[in-house]
Chain A
Amino acid sequence: MLSTYLPALVFVALGAVVGGSFAVLNQVLGPAKSKLVATGDPYECGLPSEVKQGFRFGISFYLIAMLFILFDIEVVFLYPIAVELRAFGTFALLETIVFVVLLMVAFIYVWRRGALEWK
């Protein structure tokens, strides 16, 4: 029974190996430390990596981010259906259409309510 967990273990091990090796190899093979400030940061673009405690994101950011996640995940559902649509038949097609229509309704709602405008 435990053998069913083997793939999961392999996955975890691979993750550890790949992640760990990148970190170590960067240290070993990378060039010597640059004196530029930006290159010392974990990420060289985007937001500063160290922020003050009182720092706040704009509320619009949350809104857009949340909407992105919602629509993104919903669209993910379309992939498997697209691949196997022929096998599932017309029922799945109809279901997909219903799904997309509902997605459209949500999109229209978000758009008309002005959630997409950066304020």
Chain B
Amino acid sequence: MIAAAATSIKAPYIDWAAFSPIVALICGAVIVLLIGLLPGRRVREQIVPGATVLTLLATLGLTIWQWGENTSIISGALAVDRLSLVLNVVFVATGLVTVVMSLRERATVQAGQGEYYTLLLASLAGMAVLVAAQNLVTLFVGIELLSIPLYVLCASELQREKSLEAGLKYLVIGSVGSATLLFGLSFIYGATGSTDFSGIAAALSSKGETIASNPLMLTGLGMAVVGLGFKAAIAPFHQWTPDVYEGAPSPITSFMSVATKAAAFGIFLRFMDVAVIDEALTWQPLLAALAAITIVVGNVGALAQTSVKRILAWSSVAQGGYLLVGIVVSSAAGLEATLYYLVVYVVMNLAAFSVVVARERETTHGDSLSAFAGLGSKRPILAVPMTIAMLSLAGIPATAGFIGKLNLIGASVDGDYAWLGVLIAIGSAISLAYYLRIVAVMWMPDRRGDSPETDRPHGQPEIIGLAIICSAATIFFGIIPSPIYDLVRGAGESIGLL
């Protein structure tokens, strides 16, 4: 009997070309790990980051090679479409930036070069799997492959207590999130009998029943949203964010705030807009409430902080609330607005974090606001990018953040959720209070010459270069936004949205 069953098993057809970006990331991770074992400090400190960059460039090349593809691969487990390809580009770009930021990072020495960069690549592979997942099992595999390396990376600055604390905290809370998600996914499978997103959608529509009338499905969906909410740092599941962001090594914080967020929102979009799209009317109010809470909590929470990394952590919670608005409206316009804002958010947040990393190494004040005092007159080359990033995060015109908010507000009005658009506006206004505090500290110090005495600016041209490139891009896309529109156009259509 067993033999008979076995003969009927067929190997899934794999479109290796479409699968290649993920394969490249995983192979790269393995190779980097092995290179890290080679003897010689020089080898480790130069070849390992080099190999990481090569891997990322290869992935980028393969992603671009697959551009325009719209297929399901490996028995429908993964989707290669505009949504996943755009996000792949985002991940690779973030990965490259993180590598550059990490070059002089203590964590890479303490944790081992090979390990550090392998974990980074593994996490990126997890993100690529996650945003392409259209199957509950793949979804979970992706989210774990993303999370577990991150837990370790957070704690990679072994000799600093806060880093270890951050890693542990993230591990515990991340596991709670994963467990909740897994529990929810199993309920959904139980209710629909399918792990496929399209299968779930078909099961829901064929049974002619709504989510609300099916307690199993309702519980499952609720828990899945909560689980994803943990990963995406949506209030009220965001409490870990400030502590973890503050404790983790800054390049990792920057990576988490950008790439993890993009990945979590990528799968959020695909799951909501494919698997349960027919039931949108049921879950829209729930998500709208979450978005509203997130915007308010994130912005208010940031007000009282004095650590720049904590401010940026709360700000990223608030930005997550804005991103959620595009999911709430469950339309192609909403999806593209969220995707657009993700791309923009990545650019402006990386500009901010580059400056934070640079300042952390130049002063003994760490990431405290006082490390930025008087930066405008002392080091305008860092102060200007930081200012641009702050203004863009606040949504001031002539920056990319403004166009991003414009899209989200447009989508919210279009989807009959105009009040969420108003909330985005109010949230942005509140956010000015803390973004401008950073700007004011830099440009308008209380007393002239009151700045960190232990200033020891040393050459780190790569970080300054990053800050300048990212902030220049923020301005460029604020004035000429069409390249990003070209990038995200068709993403909604590619997953079957109107």
Contacts and interface: CB of A to CB of B under 8 A. Distances in A.
B11 A108 contact: no
- Give the one of B3, B6, B30, B34 with max A CB within 10 A: B6
Contacts, number: 25
Interface of B: 2-3, 6-7, 9, 11, 30, 33-34, 37
Given A89-B11, A91-B11, A92-B11, A84 B34 contact: no
Given A102-B30, A105-B30, A88 B37 contact: no
Contacts of A113: 37
A87 B11 contact: no
Contact of B9 (A87, A90, A105, A108): A87
B6 A88 contact: yes
Nearest to A87: B6
A91 B9 CA distance: 11
A33 interface: no
Nearest to A101: B30
Place the interface of chain A in its size category.
Answer: 10 to 19
**Consensus secondary structure, chain A interface:** helix
The 4 closest A-B pairs by CB, nearest first: A91-B11, A87-B6, A112-B37, A84-B6
A71 to B, nearest CB: 17
B34 A105 contact: yes
Contacts of B9: 87-88
A85 B30 CA distance: 26
Contacts of A112: 37
A104 to B, nearest CB: 10
Interface in A95-119: 102, 105, 108-109, 112-113
B3 A108 contact: no
Contacts of B30: 102, 105
A67 to B, nearest CB: 16
Contacts of B11: 88-92
B6 A105 contact: no
Contacts of B33: 105, 109
A87 B3 contact: yes
Nearest to B13: A91
A87 B4 CA distance: 9
- Give the one of A87, A88, A102 with max B CB within 10 A: A87
A90 B367 CA distance: 55
Given A87-B6, A87-B9, A112-B37, 6 more contacts: A84-B2, A84-B3, A87-B7, A105-B30, A108-B37, A113-B37
Nearest to A92: B11
Contacts of B2: 84
Interface in A42-97: 84, 87-92
Nearest to B29: A105
A112 B37 CA distance: 7
A107 B7 CA distance: 33
A4 B432 CA distance: 61
Nearest to A105: B30
